[in-house]
Structure 1
Amino acid sequence: MPQELLSPEQWFASLPTAYLASSGLITDETGNVLIVDPNYRDHWTLPGGVVEDGEAPHMACEREVAEEVGLDLTAGALLSVQWSAPYGARPKPFLSFVFDCGTVGSGTTITLQESELDDYAFVEPDRAVELLFPPIAPRLSAALRARKTGGTVYVS
C-alpha cells in the first residue's frame, strides 16, 4: 500500500525548529573586544540579540549592533555558530551566530541602548571571554580563533 505524502504545510509543520540569535565581534585597533553589560543579566555579552521572524541572521546582527551600541557596521564573515540544547523554560534549541563586524577606532562614539544596557567596555580578549556567561563564552573564543585563521568554528 503506498504511503500518503504530506502536504507541504504539514511537512514543514512537522520539522524541528530552533531559536536564533546574532552577535557582532567588534574590536578596537589594539585588539580589545567590545562587550556590553545588559541590565537584565548578571554577565557581560557581545552586542547582538534575537533574530526576528523572517530576518536573516547577518541582518539581525547589523540591526542589533546599531540598536545596542549605535554603530552602523556590516556583518562580515560568519566566525562562529553555537548550538545550545533546550534548557529550563526554553523548550527549543538555540543557534547563536557571531559575525565579524570589524575594527573601530579608539575615538569611536558608542551610544548605549539605555533600556537594555548599563555599560560597555573594550577589554583584552581573554578577559572578555572570562566576563561572558560561561555557557556562551565558547562562542567568543571560537570567533576570535576563526578571525585569526579564517573560516567558521562550530561550537556545540
Structure 2
Amino acid sequence: MTPTPADPDAWNAYLAEGNAKQARKRVAADVLLRDPAGRVLLVNPTYKPGWDLPGGMAEANEPPEEAARRELREELGQDVALRGLLVVDWIAPHGPWDDQIAFIFDGGTLDGSQALRPHDQELSEARFVPLDKALELVRDRMRRRLDAAMTALHQGRPLYLHDGAATW
C-alpha cells in the first residue's frame, strides 16, 4: 500500500525513495556579456580546448542563474545583474557524459572601463571580440547556442534548443 500524506514520516520516506530514483541533470549556466561596441565577451578555459562564454556548471541544488553569477564572480571578479534568459538547450548524452541542460542568460553591456582578467586558474584569458570572430573561436555546440542567444536577444524572447537546434 502506498503511504499517504496523512502519515508524514511514511509519506516523506516514500517521496525520498522516488526522488533517489529520478534522473539527475547536469546544468551549465553561461552569460552573454557585451561591451558598448557590441563585441561579445569570451573566456579561454584552461581545462578544455577552445574559447567559451563566461559561466560554468551549477553546483548541487544551485539555481542556474545563481550559478552563472557565482562563476562570473569567481572567474572574472564581476558581479553582474542578469537581465533575463536567452537560451535553454537540452544536450543529448555524448561521449562519457549524460544529458545536460545549458542556459544562457543576458548579462547586458559592461561599460568597458574595467580591465577584465581571470581571477582563478580555470581561465587563461578573457576578451571582447566581434560576434563573427566569437562564432569562429567557440566550438560547434557553443556556436549554435551563441547564435541562438543573439537571435533571442534581438527577438526579445528566449529560445529552446535541442542539441543546439531550435525546436519551434
Q: TM-score, normalised by structure 2?
A: 0.85
Shift of 1:133: 1.2
Match of 1:93 in 2: 99
Shift of 1:138: 1.2
What is the aligned-residue RMSD (CA, Å)?
A: 1.4
2:69 equivalent among 54, 62, 66? 62
* Cα distance change of structure 1 residues 23 and 102 upon mapping to structure 2, 3 Å threshold: same
Gaps of 5+ in 1: none
Match of 1:12 in 2: 19
CA contact (8 A) 1:138 1:155 kept: no
CA contact (8 A) 1:78 1:97 kept: yes
- Mapped to 2, the partners of 1:102 and 1:84 lie a distance apart of 25
1:134 and 2:134 equivalent?
Answer: no
Q: Percent identity?
A: 34
Tell which deviates more after alignment, 30-39 or 61-70: 61-70
| Code of the aligned partner of 2:99 | P
Match of 1:150 in 2: 156
1:30 and 2:37 equivalent?
Answer: yes
Q: How many residues align?
A: 152
Shift of 1:70: 1.5
**Which structure is higher in helix share?**
2
Deviation per CA, 1:30-79, whole angstroms, max 9, x where unpaired? Answer: 11000000111220000101101111110111110111111110122110
1:111 and 2:113 equivalent?
Answer: no
Tell which deviates more after alignment, 105-114 or 135-144: 105-114
Shift of 1:89: 1.6
Shift of 1:28: 0.1
| Code of the aligned partner of 1:84 | I
Shift of 1:150: 0.7
Match of 2:126 in 1: 120
| Code of the aligned partner of 2:115 | T
SS of 1:118's partner is strand
Tell which deviates more after alignment, 61-70 or 103-112: 103-112
| Code of the aligned partner of 1:127 | K
Match of 1:76 in 2: 83
Tell which deviates more after alignment, 39-48 or 6-15: 6-15
- Mapped to 2, the partners of 1:5 and 1:96 lie a distance apart of 36
Q: Which structure ranks higher in relative contact order (CA pairs < 8 Å, sequence separation ≥ 6)?
A: 1
| Code of the aligned partner of 2:52 | T
Deviation per CA, 1:86-140, whole angstroms, max 9, x where unpaired? Answer: 12221x2111100011101122221313411111111111221221111222111
- Mapped to 1, the partners of 2:80 and 2:37 lie a distance apart of 18
